[in-house]
């Protein structure tokens, strides 16, 4: 039972972050964001909801897989990195969609990308399956950085 409670806890944490970020985003998609010049590489807006839902679910399962392992310094470090990257993930939504600071959001996204990488590597040192579960998220945020840079380039003046 405790094993499954750990998964539930991980899902609640990840989807709480998703919900907060989504709340900050939703009100701006039909307003400020819609008025931005759109890069040609930008996917349709409907893609983001399903993509992020899948990514948050994969993140939650990855963290849970790490949590299931024997307690160790490596496990503790990996889970702290996971929490840090979640905080950076949430901060990006606020900076981009609430503050409308596209350039600052890009700088923050580079930090997020590095934190995801560090988390993925740390997860891999604990259990390889968790690192693989983080890989799609890291790839998506790599694309998001390119997309954020394109929005900044087109809309900075």
Residue 121's pLDDT is what? Answer: 98
What is the C-alpha separation between 2 and 12, in angstroms, rounded? 15
Write out the residue range of the structural domain in which residue 8 sits: 2-155
157 residues of the chain, pLDDT tens digit each: 788 999 999 999 999 999 999 999 998 988 999 999 999 999 999 999 999 999 999 999 999 999 999 999 999 999 999 999 999 999 999 999 999 999 999 999 999 999 999 999 999 999 999 999 999 999 999 999 999 999 999 998 6
Task: Please state, in angstroms and rounded to a whole number, the distance separating the CA atoms of residues 117 and 143.
Answer: 14
First to last CA, the chain: 55
Closest CA to 86 of 145, 11, 144, 13: 13
Domain containing residue 76: CATH number:
1.20.1260.100
Structurally, the chain folds into a number of domains equal to 1
Distance CA 106, CA 44 (A): 20
Place of tokens 């890989």: 135
Q: Are 58 and 122 in contact (CB under 8 A)?
A: no
pLDDT at 27 (0 to 100): 87
- The pTM of the full predicted model, rounded to 2 decimals, is 0.94
> Tokens 């950085």 appear where?
145
Q: Of 61, 62, 58, 75, give the one whose Cα is nearest residue 8.
A: 61
The pLDDT score that the predictor gives to residue 1 is 78
Q: Look up tokens 């679910």; give the residue.
A: 57
């Amino acid at each position: 039972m405790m094993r499954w409670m750990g998964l539930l806890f991980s899902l609640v944490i990840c989807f709480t972050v998703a919900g907060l970020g989504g709340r900050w985003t939703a009100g701006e998609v039909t307003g400020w964001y819609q008025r931005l010049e759109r890069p040609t590489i930008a996917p349709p807006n409907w893609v983001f909801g399903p993509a992020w839902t899948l990514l948050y679910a994969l993140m939650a399962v990855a963290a849970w897989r790490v949590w299931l392992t024997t307690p160790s310094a490596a496990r503790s470090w990996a889970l702290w990195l996971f929490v840090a990257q979640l905080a950076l993930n949430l901060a990006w939504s606020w900076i981009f969609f609430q503050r409308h600071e596209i350039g600052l959001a890009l700088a923050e996204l580079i930090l997020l990308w590095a934190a995801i990488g560090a988390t993925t590597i740390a997860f891999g040192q604990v259990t390889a399956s968790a690192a693989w579960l983080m890989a799609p998220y890291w790839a998506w945020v790599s694309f998001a950085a390119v997309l954020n840079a394109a929005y900044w380039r087109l809309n900075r003046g």
